[in-house]
Structure 1
Amino acid sequence: MNGFSIKELCCLFCCPPCPGRIAAKLAFLPPIPTYAIVPEQNASTRLTPGRGTGVNRRWKLHLTDGADFQYTQHDLDNIEVFMTKSSRGNRIACMYIRCVPGARFTLLFSHGNAVDLGQMSSFYLGLGTRINCNIFSYDYSGYGASSGHPSEKNLYADIDAAWKAVRTRYGICPENILLYGQSIGTVPTVDLASRYECAAVILHSPLTSGMRVAFPETKKTYCFDAFPNIEKVSKITSPVLIIHGTEDEVIDFSHGLALYERCSKPVQPLWVEGAGHNDIELYSQYLERLKHFISQELPSQN
């Protein structure tokens, strides 16, 4: 999220404002791509799990120095990448990390702003290993190796494509999928969770709506508002865990509180005292809360 001058705000909401313009101004900062996805040389085709007789091209992940990958080649070999297509015609880069063989849950992770899959890959490996989950993630349109440009409508189509890939390519059932959204990633996460039931939803530093970020005194949702999480979160029927830093300088702590109050099935939230927008993961209670939630609070398998 960015700060704005009075002149910029006036231009932003001029005659008439539209969600796409608000979304573009408030949210999207695609970084220079830190990876590429290329076809494997001399790789034979193979059957794709969950697709019957479908044949799947094999792809390889190439990381640049900007990815700052912290693990071994063996770990890198456990990362599968491929491209899928959204309903809006964009090619979406996807990444599946087998962190823990035989893990019950897979996190469908929608990352924050100004990062891509290459930069997140080390974090995903570390997180999944520690909380005993595999992780599936994707890049938004215009991020990383994904085509198109970032927009609110594309966010929703992007996560739909990711959800479909998790379900069909890997045959993972909704009751074994955790939807995890961080910052701007809470927007597609809330939208998808309001339409599909899953094991649980985790909202990390979430926003209530674009207008409420730009204008903190906003009390209602206008027709031209972007990212209206506040209007969708009550439709989520899965358990919802909200994590927010009390000193968040980008999305105020009040956003997390407001969403928590609107949830139909909230669990004990994690308010990280003193944490900002980008450092919650450095606090010990972050991993502790995730571990307890996943291992103790979710229904056991029949």
Structure 2
Amino acid sequence: MSCADLFRLFCWPPLPSRIAAKLAFLPPEPTYSIIADGDSPDLRLHLSERAEFQFSDPDKASLEVFLAPTARGNNIACMMAKVNPRSRFTLLFSHGNAVDLGQMSSFFIGLGRRLNVNVFGYDYSGYGASTGRPLEKNLYADMECAWNQLLTRYKLQPESIILYGQSIGTVPTVDLAARYKVAGVILHSPLMSGMRVAFPETQRTWFFDPFPNIEKAPRIQSPCLVIHGTDDEVIDFAHGLTIYERLPKPVDPLWVVGAGHNDIEMFPQYLERLRSFLYSELDALRPVAEASAVESDNNSDSPTSNSS
């Protein structure tokens, strides 16, 4: 990056939103549209060939799509892959920076079937059929909107929701997980902050540093699984390792030896680790958490407790 590029990036003007937009957001040409379904009030998904959908038309019809308004005045596209209506968990999936829901639709169905979970995804402002611009503040509002859809539209409880963020999607995921307790959190190729990606020698979080995951991760109170490839060419492995070390409630991470930024899902240990996290570790952690809560309540009710 030249001196002129650095000047334009940080000094014209030095706004975090401009830095974030230039460094992180790469919305593709939309691979889908959301259209009216005849005379029905429902909407349906229309995929272009570039979406490379790998399943049948009935599978496509099973994807529920709609638009939802955010607190910042945008309408974001939402997609629910309801693989099993009685599934215990729903993943709230925040995707990477260069894809949209059309390209993710096949992955959602495949992942849901392999893990026996429902998968809910959304497009960031300025991506796919979502309105607005891809900005850091919009990113947080988009995630909050998606979260609220699960709670209100689908009547889900936080203890049945797993937050899953991939790459830039770890940014809104960490932000939400730092404010709400959920069943679990999965951070797939997380970044420490925008400046630390662009300038690896950065040792502190500056006031204009976008996406400060490193500052928010210590506030995540849910069990958290970190996944990262050791040969990641986009977000260095050191980012995942440092985030893991800052978490209050980490589980054993998955460091995929030889994996890059976009191929972790191709390694067999990826699904194995996710299954273990969802159906073994979370069950094992739940009684401990409940017992701790009961003990805390009992202590607070004790007449000898200090209530100053």
TM-score range, shorter chain: over 0.9
Aligned counterparts of 2:229 and 2:239: Cα–Cα separation in 1: 11
Alpha-carbon offset, residue 132 of structure 1: 1.1
Alpha-carbon offset, residue 131 of structure 1: 0.9
Aligned counterpart in structure 2 of residue 86 of structure 1, from 70, 83, 108: 70
Percent identity among equivalent residues? 64
Aligned counterpart in structure 2 of residue 14 of structure 1, from 11, 22, 36: 11
Contact 1:248 / 1:276 at 8 angstroms: preserved in 2? yes
Aligned residue for 2:21, secondary structure, equals helix
Contact 1:241 / 1:269 at 8 angstroms: preserved in 2? yes
Find the counterpart in structure 2 of residue 267 from structure 1. 251
Aligned counterparts of 2:168 and 2:176: Cα–Cα separation in 1: 14
Contact 2:63 / 2:82 at 8 angstroms: preserved in 1? yes
Q: Max radius of gyration: which structure?
A: 2
Aligned residue for 2:255, secondary structure, equals strand
Aligned counterparts of 1:202 and 1:9: Cα–Cα separation in 2: 33
RMSD, matched Cα: 1.3
Find the counterpart in structure 1 of residue 202 from structure 2. 218
Alpha-carbon offset, residue 13 of structure 1: 1.9
Query: Once the two structures are superposed, what CA deviation does each residue of 1:55-93 show, in whole Å capped at 9, x if it has no partner?
Result: xx4111100101100001121121100000000000110
What are the within-5 Å matches in structure 2 for residues 55-94 of structure 1? 57-94=41-78
Aligned counterparts of 2:62 and 2:276: Cα–Cα separation in 1: 26
Aligned counterpart in structure 2 of residue 206 of structure 1, from 190, 213, 217: 190
Aligned counterpart in structure 1 of residue 154 of structure 2, from 162, 167, 170: 170
Query: Once the two structures are superposed, what CA deviation does each residue of 1:28-62 show, in whole Å capped at 9, x if it has no partner?
Result: 1110101111121121xxxxxxxxxxxxx411110
Aligned counterparts of 2:140 and 2:158: Cα–Cα separation in 1: 18
Unpaired stretches in structure 1, ≥5 consecutive residues: 44-56
TM-score normalised by length of structure 2:
0.90
Alpha-carbon offset, residue 6 of structure 1: 4.0
Contact 2:44 / 2:61 at 8 angstroms: preserved in 1? no
* Matched letter for residue 122 of structure 1: S
Aligned counterpart in structure 2 of residue 32 of structure 1, from 29, 34, 42: 29
Aligned counterpart in structure 1 of residue 219 of structure 2, from 219, 229, 235: 235
Find the counterpart in structure 2 of residue 41 from structure 1. 38
Query: Once the two structures are superposed, what CA deviation does each residue of 1:76-125 show, in whole Å capped at 9, x if it has no partner?
Result: 12110000000000011000011124110000000001100000000111
Aligned counterpart in structure 2 of residue 96 of structure 1, from 80, 94, 98: 80
Find the counterpart in structure 1 of residue 20 from structure 2. 23
Aligned residue for 1:299, secondary structure, equals helix
- Relative to its length, the structure with more helix (as a share) is 2
* Matched letter for residue 232 of structure 1: K
Q: Does 1:296 align with 2:280?
A: yes
Aligned residue for 1:202, secondary structure, equals strand
Find the counterpart in structure 2 of residue 158 from structure 1. 142
Find the counterpart in structure 2 of residue 108 from structure 1. 92
Contact 1:33 / 1:144 at 8 angstroms: preserved in 2? yes
Aligned residue pair count: 286
Unpaired stretches in structure 2, ≥5 consecutive residues: 288-308
Aligned counterparts of 1:274 and 1:104: Cα–Cα separation in 2: 33
Contact 2:84 / 2:116 at 8 angstroms: preserved in 1? yes
